[in-house]
């Protein structure tokens, strides 16, 4: 029998943070990371794993339905002494559990003490000249999901959502990194070529199915946000040949170690 959740989002986040502290033995975390497609190797390159907490033991989390998104919260001690919380169980809007479930990990991280939220994802490239397997630093986003994680008349300011201060650190570590606007669509289907043309026209540089809603929730919770995409494919209609899934997977796999090293270096400077 399933029972409806009666706690408010902030009560549920508080309960999750308490469970994370108890099960990890780490009272307070400083930096949270959500690792999307292609970014999984980063967890092992950020620092020393202190504890792995199964997501199903933490209130409000559910085991991810997507292969490659393990349902674990990992507490990592980074060399500078700070504690990172890797949220390895992203819930996507297309899973149908609603926007509260999508941003619960972010709210739990904020309640656990995190002041910085690092959001990563795999995305389709929209900019001509983009290369699959390369990262893109997110400068801003277009939220095309038609929903907001903010509830009630809380008019959250999103100017400088992807903090320039944090982006400068990434540029320092990775000079010349591509930078652009991430567009979040609900998915789970990919775009039509006409939709890709539309996204380009309105100023998008990458397209995916995550991140923007989480970034908004992070800002609402008072966190600084850093966003990084791995361009795993060029979006529909941009590359001349049809999308080859094997090639996409291989591009991600080859990029993973490099991206992990980049993220490890960045996290050490946050
Ligand atoms: I990886 O081309 C990845 N995720 N919407 N479009 C959308 N999501 C994606 C894509 C893409 N590639």
- Tell me the average confidence (pLDDT) per consecutive run of 10 residues in the chain, 270 residues long: 76 96 97 90 88 91 56 92 92 92 96 98 91 93 98 95 98 96 95 94 97 98 97 76 67 82 93
Atom 2 (ligand 1): residue with closest C-alpha?
124
Whether 191 sits among the annotated catalytic residues: the reply is yes
Burial group, residue 165, by CB count within 10 angstroms (0-12, 13-18, 19+): exposed
Longest dimension (CA), the chain: 53
Residue 216 structure tokens: 């908004």
Mutate to test the pocket of ligand 1, among 233, 249, 259 (most ligand atoms within 8 A of CB): 233
- The predicted-structure confidence for 218-240, as pLDDT tens digits, reads as follows 999 999 999 999 998 887 667 66
Give me the pLDDT at residue 1, please. Answer: 45
Please tell me the predicted confidence (pLDDT) of residue 248: 67
At 236 the pLDDT is 66
Gap between the Cα atoms of 13 and 175, Å rounded: 37
> What's the predicted TM-score (pTM) here?
0.93
């Amino acid at each position: 029998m399933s029972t409806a959740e009666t706690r408010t989002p902030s009560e549920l986040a508080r309960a999750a943070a308490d469970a994370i502290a108890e099960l990890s033995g780490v009272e307070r975390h400083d930096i949270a990371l959500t690792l999307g497609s292609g970014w999984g190797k980063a967890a092992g390159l950020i620092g020393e794993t202190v504890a792995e907490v199964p997501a199903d033991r933490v209130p409000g989390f559910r085991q991810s339905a997507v292969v490659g998104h393990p349902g674990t919260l990992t507490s990592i001690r980074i060399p500078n002494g700070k504690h990172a919380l890797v949220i390895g169980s992203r819930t996507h809007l297309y899973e149908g559990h609603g926007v509260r479930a999508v941003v619960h990990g972010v709210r739990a991280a904020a309640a656990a003490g995190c002041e910085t939220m690092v959001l990563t994802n795999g995305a389709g490239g929209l900019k001509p000249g983009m290369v699959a397997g390369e990262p893109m630093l997110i400068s801003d986003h277009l939220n095309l999901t038609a929903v907001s994680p903010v509830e009630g008349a809380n008019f959250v300011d999103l100017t400088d959502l992807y903090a320039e201060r944090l982006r400068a650190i990434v540029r320092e570590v990775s000079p010349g990194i591509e930078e652009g606007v991430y567009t979040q669509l609900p998915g789970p289907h990919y775009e039509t070529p006409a939709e890709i043309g539309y996204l380009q026209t309105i100023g998008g540089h990458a397209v995916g199915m995550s991140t923007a809603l989480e970034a908004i929730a992070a800002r609402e919770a008072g966190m600084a946000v850093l966003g990084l995409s791995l361009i795993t494919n060029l979006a529909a209609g941009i590359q001349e040949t049809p999308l080859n899934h094997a090639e996409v997977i291989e591009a991600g796999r080859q990029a993973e170690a490099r991206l992990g090293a980049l993220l490890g270096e960045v996290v050490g400077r946050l």
